[in-house]
Amino acid sequence: MKGPIVFAVTLAVLLAIGTAVWLSSDGPDLLGPNGSPPEAFIADIPPGQEVCVGKQLIPEGAQTAIMTLGTYGRSGGEIAVIAKDANGALVRGSAAFKEGVVVVPLRPSRVASALCLKNTGKVKIAVAGRPAAGLSVAFPSSTSTTWISSASEIAHRFAAVRVAPLGALTMWAALLAAVAAGIVGIVAVLRSVRSS
Amino acid sequence: MERTWFGRWASSNSVALLCALATLLSAIAWMSVTPPFQAPDEPTHLAYVQRLAETGRPPSPAETDRPSLSSAGQAALDATNFSAVIGNQRGKPPWSAAEQLRAERILSQDLAENNGGGAGAYSSYPPLYYGLAVGPYLVADWAGASIIGQLTAVRLLSCLLTALAAFFIFLFVRDLLPGTPLAAPAGALAVGLLPYVGFIGSSVNNDALLLPISACLFWLLARSFRRGLDSQGAAAIGLVLVLGWATKPTFVGLVPGALMALVALLICAHRSEKRNVLTLFTSLVLGMALPFALFLAVTVGIWGRSLRPAVTASDVLANSNAAAPSKSVGGLLSYVWQYWLPRLPFMTDANFGFYPLWQTMFKGFVGRFGWGDYEFPSWLYSAVLWCWIALLALATRALIVSRRALRSHLPDFLSYAVMLGGLLLVIGGPGYVTHLDSPFPFEQARYLFPALALFGGLVGLAIRGAGARFGSYVAVGVVVGTSALDLGGLLLTLGRYYA
């Protein structure tokens, strides 16, 4: 009986250490996306023109926006990101870029309700997204994080739009239930060891 | 003080109850972590429940003009960013305060809940699971919950059913391997703590009911093979056959093997001359006839539903797509063979484009979550494969060591093999049609749920193969390993949706 208990505890400790190491590694870096993946180039913006993404909510603290842009193989792409609310422009940012994944710095960081992309260069720009869902824009975190340091933020996000009787603690309760499941399982096996 | 009947029963089944409790806790964790509607087909399954609860009638295949989802159901999908999240790693459920406000505004609208549940809402599925789900749905409705709360209440029912399945799998393995007490908890927990079982078993899906019903059938057969078929056992088997049929058409795959087992059991009873075969047969028929009559009275008599299966063999072989290659029984058998085993020289290549046993079934069974859009890192599947190969080797050792005793168990094992084969054939039918007519694969690992008891039995056999000295270590390893996989799946899910 003693052997299996020691074995179970040893395995559990090793797994706990492994999990702790993993949770200390680089964690989430996204403050929020607009939901669309950059699956294909779905819109063109001619020089001087502007395209807007409806219902865009820029998360608080966003200092950059990421999108996938093309220039049909030409150099000289320039884009401005302008976030707006009913009173006008709130956030501005611009960048010259080579086609691919483009990071545009934003300032000042504010929550807005609409986001527009303006072609400020001389070449046509193609913007990636999902045809049915729209252009793809993501807002990364400005600081590097680990899973452990982000846990509280994730727990708050988790509690939104679901049955969360304990609020942000609901996520922790769910994980605790999973750990308890494992412990109860081990107890069941050890009881059988004792009876066999 | 004398203990009550329940006290004695609970005491003699305490380990089985612990296994069910562990499974319930795991399923509740999955129920809590999976965002609303982010389990396969959950919106449509809930639409079936909602239709039944709100109108007293299940969806009908004839109602092609009626939408699948009600106005409230459609709004709930909008509130949870459903279309942007599925199949899109960058798509996240609402998590900011502004998004929460928007979702609350949508969910608080007084929208119709009784105008959905048309033909597209799995109208061809039998109503048993959905009928049970009406209870928690209405309780949540009565408590003033939104559709998200109603979904959670029905998910809780699924969790309880999954825990019940672990209980039955424990009993099955205990009767299958009575000389190895450790086999039953290890087998039950290897299923109950599997992350994919927690994920699907905690969602709104009729697979959650099919799982305990199938496990119960396997247990009743194993019990009868071990102790002999008695009247209660025969009646219970008859009842379970009807319940399975009233839950999901896939269950039909188990029936030929179960009937074969019943014939073997009746022959065995006849030979032993201790039991009256006619009495046993009558119990079986009564066990089937009474619930079947009730089922007919409700579905055909009251609701006017057809008893014709949604998909028949002729439907499978009919050519719905003129451009697709023609279908045949030989083609179907070849397809099913190649799905699971290497192609034989005389077979036409099914051209899967990938190895379905690994890609769809193994990886899916170990863990593929959401709408099939995220999974564990590749190295983990390889690690689990090696662990399972080791368990398979131990199970093989157990069979070799016990080969003499096996001869007397030939009818049992043959029946289980036919049940598994029947299931694979039933899954393969629509898979074959879909494979020829469209580029999208049909099969998912959850379609194997009716045979999960056999997986538990295989793990139990491995514990036996490990011998008295190492069996306990293998059992502990199986439970800790599966539990770690379970926790890993939950963390992966949190990362997928909230990071």
Residue B1 banded pLDDT, cuts 50, 70, 90: low
**A1-44 residue pLDDT tens:** 688 889 988 998 998 888 888 888 777 677 777 777 888 899 99
**Chain centroid offset of residue B454 CA:** 13
Q: What is the pLDDT of residue B10?
A: 86
- Closest residue in A to B105 (Cα) is A161
Domains in chain A, ordered, with CATH?
A: 2-28+146-195 (no CATH), 30-140 (2.60.120.260)
For A185, the closest of B81, B483, B490 (CB atoms) is: B483
Q: How many domains does chain B have?
A: 1
Q: Tell me if B8 is assigned to some domain.
A: no
| DSSP tag of A168 | T
List chain A residues with pLDDT less than 50. Answer: none
Q: Tell me if B204 is assigned to some domain.
A: yes
Pairing of strands A125-130, A114-119: unpaired
Judged by CB atoms within 8 Å, which residues 155-174 of A form the interface with B? 156-158, 160-163, 170-171, 173-174
Reading phi first (left if > 0) and then psi (alpha if -120 to 50, else beta), residue B141 is in: alpha
For A161, the closest of B29, B94, B182 (CB atoms) is: B94
Q: Tell me if B210 is assigned to some domain.
A: yes
Complex ipTM: 0.90
A170 CB neighbours in chain B (<8 A) are 32
Give this prediction's pTM. 0.88
Read off the tokens for A73: 């193989």
DSSP string for residues in A64-93: EEEEEEE-TT-S-EEEEEEEEETTEEEEEE
Q: Tell me if B5 is assigned to some domain.
A: no
Q: Is A131 on the interface with B (CB under 8 A)?
A: no
Which residues does B164 contact at the CB level (< 8 Å), separation at least 6? Answer: B20, B212
Q: CA B52 to CA B66: how far, in whole Å?
A: 14
Q: What is the pLDDT of residue B321?
A: 58
**B349-370 residue pLDDT tens:** 877 778 888 988 999 999 999 9
Residue B263 pLDDT more than 90?
yes
Residue B317 pLDDT more than 70?
no
A129 CB neighbours in chain B (<8 A) are none
CB contact under 8 A, A138 and B148: no
Q: Which domain holds residue B350?
A: 18-498
Q: Is A148 on the interface with B (CB under 8 A)?
A: no
Q: Tell me if B340 is assigned to some domain.
A: yes
Pairing of strands A125-130, A40-45: antiparallel
Q: Who wins on pLDDT, B295 or A83?
A: B295
**A177-186 residue pLDDT tens:** 999 999 999 9
Q: Tell me if B324 is assigned to some domain.
A: yes
Q: Which segment of A95-104, B267-276, B400-409 scores lowest on mean pLDDT?
A: B267-276
CB contact under 8 A, A15 and B498: no
Q: Tell me if B226 is assigned to some domain.
A: yes
Handedness of CA A12, A13, A18, A20 (dihedral sign): positive
Is the backbone peptide bond immediately before A37 cis, with ω within 30 degrees of 0?
A: no
Q: Tell me if B402 is assigned to some domain.
A: yes
Residue B247 banded pLDDT, cuts 50, 70, 90: very high
For A189, the closest of B25, B192, B475 (CB atoms) is: B475
